[in-house]
Structures are given as structure tokens and as C-alpha cells.
């Protein structure tokens, strides 16, 4: 859990706002309530590094840390909503939900990231506002990053955001979040970052329209694996029910996510599944995809690693995808093996049952190294070192 709530300030001066936005006055955010230990009803325990970890997430609007509310609880200003590479519904749903709510109260917004939104998420309300950004000019009162444990996933745009925004707010539920914001609300016991954004909107008294509810419901839906993951809590379903009451349509969201395949995609899926390999003892399954072997649009639309994970005997599933000079590694477990530790060996991170890393090297070499680490984690878990596992030079989440 370690790391300070408040990151040291090392911004550069931003340019004058080209859109007529006033240059905000700089203010130092308060440490009060920052987010490693928000006020939450329920038991807590002290970790080895000091900050508290909550055994259950039963947050109410009153539990949103004061330091998280402060940047938004003011006269309308300008907000930058910054996403990570290859944005998924977890990040797009939370950013768009928050952005539409702030805009309804008079805020001006810019939403985007290193890559555009994928076609499969074109149904999200307001997604046409999200665009690929090479750079941005001007100043922002607030910059927000959601569901992004490692700021390097925003590439060069992260440092631009630090320079351009008076306050950078980091909202996430990944336990290995690097606390890179001025304000960090990191709640690992929340099943989805969408839960936290919902609580923030309620606490601020912001509107919950059908469009906003659809974005947040989609984010919670995908972040919890369609409510199938073991970290789902009663609070997850309470929030989902409130979002449905506000206008989100579960059938519409599920249909848009899973029932819009073109026939070519189904054939492609059949071809890809022939590449799945399984270890002799049936406990490890993996899928290695050379560069150019599968269309990018298909990979964006399919959570391919869950297919090898679905094999009954499998304890850890891997997908290894050659991308440029790196191999993108996705890991999935079923509860008895902490795949986050495996990802940490290669400079990545994530959750106990879902983690990943980007590792420099050849597909063959990285596959051999990752499968070796997976086998060691299954056979001899004590060699993994500490809770994060030993570092691997060069990898990144």
C-alpha cells in the first residue's frame, strides 16, 4: 500500500489557455482524507507499511475523502479527463460518467488519451467527445485519471497533465496503484473504480442522468467481469441497482458488449482458439499471438485470455501478444494463485486474479520466461518473494 498521498510538485509552467479558459490559481491540496485511508464503515487493519486496508467496501457519500471532494466542490472550471493506452470500458465509462456530470454543472472538459476509443465501445454516451491526443495546450483546474495504476500508461501525456493542471486527481481500486496524483483515492476493496466515481457524484450532488448511469454501469459491469469476480460485494450490486434505477439498461449494455460480432470476427475467434496450448498437467494454458496475426480491432473487442482461463483444470491462463518491440502479457487466475505477483516480476501489476505487463523481448523468449514464472508460482509459491514479487528490469504495467 505504501507511498505518500501527496506527490511532490515538479510541474512546469503551462501556456495560456487558447480556448479562453482563465488560468487557475495554484493551490496546494490538503492531505486530509487522501485516499489511502478514506473514512469507510467497516473493519480496518494495519499493513506492514502503515496505511490501512479495509476488509469491506461499504462506502456512503459521506465517506468520500474531503481532499477528493475539494477540487470539484467549487465554481465550475475546466477539467482534463485523461485515459490510458488502449482504453477499455473500465476507464472510458468512469471518465465519461464523471465528465458528463461535471459538464451538466457548467464545467468545460477535454477528454482523451494516447489512443482513441475502440469501435466496440461506440455505444457509450459521449464517447464521441473522447479523442486521441498528441498534446494539449492551456491550463486546467483539475486533471482526472481513473482505473490507471501506473501513470506511464498515459505515456507522454501524463507529464503534460501534471504541468497543465492545478490538481491531478487519481481514482482507482488497483492495490498496486503508484499514488502519482496530488490527490489519490485508492480503494482496493472496491470491486470497480466505477463504484468510487458513483460515490463521488452522489457526494457532490451531481446529476445521475441515463447517459451518466449507462457509462458507470458499463464500467462496473466490465471491471467485475460481468459481476463474476470474487471481489464483487453487496455494495457492488447496490450501486448497480441504483444505476439501473437512474436509467442504465443492463440488456442494452450486455448486448452492445457481447452480441454485436460480425461474422468475420466469429471465424477469427475460431482460428485464434486453435492456438491455445495447455501444459501436460492441465494447470496452465496460454495463447501466444505473433504481431499481425490477429486484427487489432478484433483484439480490442474480445477478452481473449478468458478462453484459456475457462478450461476446468487451469489455474493460471496467459495471453502473450507481440506488439512492436514489446510483448503484452495478460494473466488470469482463479483465486489460488496470485497473478499480480507474477506480473510484478516483469514490471507489471494488477489484481490477484487479473494482471498484466508489457515486457521487452521476443515473443518466444518472453513466453518462455512468463511460463517459467507461472510454473514456479504454482509449484513453489514461496519463491515469489514479497507481496509484489521481485522486480524485473525493463517491464512496465
For 240-273, how does the pLDDT look when each residue is reduced to its tens digit (9 = 90+)? 999 999 999 999 999 999 998 889 889 999 999 9
> What does the block give as the cell for 173?
481500486
Burial class of residue 242 in the structure, from the number of CB atoms within 10 Å of its CB (0-12 exposed, 13-18 middle, 19+ buried) = middle
pLDDT given for residue 330 in this prediction: 95
- Cα–Cα distance for residue pair 103/358, rounded to 1 Å: 35
Average pLDDT over residues 318-332: 93
- Collapsing DSSP to helix, strand or coil, 51 comes out as coil
pLDDT value at 37 more than 70: no
pLDDT given for residue 46 in this prediction: 32
User: Any idea how long the chain is?
Assistant: 397
pLDDT value at 291 more than 80: yes
Under a CB-based contact definition with an 8 Å cutoff, are residues 109 and 165 in contact?
Answer: no
pLDDT given for residue 283 in this prediction: 96
pLDDT given for residue 381 in this prediction: 61
pLDDT value at 344 more than 50: yes
pLDDT given for residue 382 in this prediction: 54
For 314, left (φ over 0), alpha (ψ -120 to 50), or beta? beta
Average pLDDT over residues 23-42: 35
Instruction: Tell me the CB-side half-sphere exposure of residue 132, using CA atoms within 13 A.
Output: 8
Least confident stretch, 15-19, 88-92, 145-149, 211-215: 15-19
pLDDT value at 324 more than 70: yes
Least confident stretch, 184-193, 313-322, 379-388: 379-388
Least confident stretch, 53-62, 164-173, 314-323, 357-366: 53-62
Q: Please, which pLDDT band fits residue 297 given cuts at 50, 70 and 90? A: confident
pLDDT value at 53 more than 50: no
- Cα–Cα distance for residue pair 55/78, rounded to 1 Å: 36
Q: Kindly list the structural domains of the chain, giving each domain's residue range(s) and its CATH number in brackets, ordered by start.
A: 44-256 (3.90.1640.10), 264-384 (3.10.310.30)
Least confident stretch, 12-26, 224-238, 275-289, 305-319: 12-26
Least confident stretch, 7-11, 176-180, 256-260: 7-11
- Collapsing DSSP to helix, strand or coil, 82 comes out as strand
> Is the model's pTM score more than 0.85?
no
Angle at 50 between CA 49 and CA 56, to 5 degrees: 105
pLDDT given for residue 7 in this prediction: 38
Amino acid at each position: 500500500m505504501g507511498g505518500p498521498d501527496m506527490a511532490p510538485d515538479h510541474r512546469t509552467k503551462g501556456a495560456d489557455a487558447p480556448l479562453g479558459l482563465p488560468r487557475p490559481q495554484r493551490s496546494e491540496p490538503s492531505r486530509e482524507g487522501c485516499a489511502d485511508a478514506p473514512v469507510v464503515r467497516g473493519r480496518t487493519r494495519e499493513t506492514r507499511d502503515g496505511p490501512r486496508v479495509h476488509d469491506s467496501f461499504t462506502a456512503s457519500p459521506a465517506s468520500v475523502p474531503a481532499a477528493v471532494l475539494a477540487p470539484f466542490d467549487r465554481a465550475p472550471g475546466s477539467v482534463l479527463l485523461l485515459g490510458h493506452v488502449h482504453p477499455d470500458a473500465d476507464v472510458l465509462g468512469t471518465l465519461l460518467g464523471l465528465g458528463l456530470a461535471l459538464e451538466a454543472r457548467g464545467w468545460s472538459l477535454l477528454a482523451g488519451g494516447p489512443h482513441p476509443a475502440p469501435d466496440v465501445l461506440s455505444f457509450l454516451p459521449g464517447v464521441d467527445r473522447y479523442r486521441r491526443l498528441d498534446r494539449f495546450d492551456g491550463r486546467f483546474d483539475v486533471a482526472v485519471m481513473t482505473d490507471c495504476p501506473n501513470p506511464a500508461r498515459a505515456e507522454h501525456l501524463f507529464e503534460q497533465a501534471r504541468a497543465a493542471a492545478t490538481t491531478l486527481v487519481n481514482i482507482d481500486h488497483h492495490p498496486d496503484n503508484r499514488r502519482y496524483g496530488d490527490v489519490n483515492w485508492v480503494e482496493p476493496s472496491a470491486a470497480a473504480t466505477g463504484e468510487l466515481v458513483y460515490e463521488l457524484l452522489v457526494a457532490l450532488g451531481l446529476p445521475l442522468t441515463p447517459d451518466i448511469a449507462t457509462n458507470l454501469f458499463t464500467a462496473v459491469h466490465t471491471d467485475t467481469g460481468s459481476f463474476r469476480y470474487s471481489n464483487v460485494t453487496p455494495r457492488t450490486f447496490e450501486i448497480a441497482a441504483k444505476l439501473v434505477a437512474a436509467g442504465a439498461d443492463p440488456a442494452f449494455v450486455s448486448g452492445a458488449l457481447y452480441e454485436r460480432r460480425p461474422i468475420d470476427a466469429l471465424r477469427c475467434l475460431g482460428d485464434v482458439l486453435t492456438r491455445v496450448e495447455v501444459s501436460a498437467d492441465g494447470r496452465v494454458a496460454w495463447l501466444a499471438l505473433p504481431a499481425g496475426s490477429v486484427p487489432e480491432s478484433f483484439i480490442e473487442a474480445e477478452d481473449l485470455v478468458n478462453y484459456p482461463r475457462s478450461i476446468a483444470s487451469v489455474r493460471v491462463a496467459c495471453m502473450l501478444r507481440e506488439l512492436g518491440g514489446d510483448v503484452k502479457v495478460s494473466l488470469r487466475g482463479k483465486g489460488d494463485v496470485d497473478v499480480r505477483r507474477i506480473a510484478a516480476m516483469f514490471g507489471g501489476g494488477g489484481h490477484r486474479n487479473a494482471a498484466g505487463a508489457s515486457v521487452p523481448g521476443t515473443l518466444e523468449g518472453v513466453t518462455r520466461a512468463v511460463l517459467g514464472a507461472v510454473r514456479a508460482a504454482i509449484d513453489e509459491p514461496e519463491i515469489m518473494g514479497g507481496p509484489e514479487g521481485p522486480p524485473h528490469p525493463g517491464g512496465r504495467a
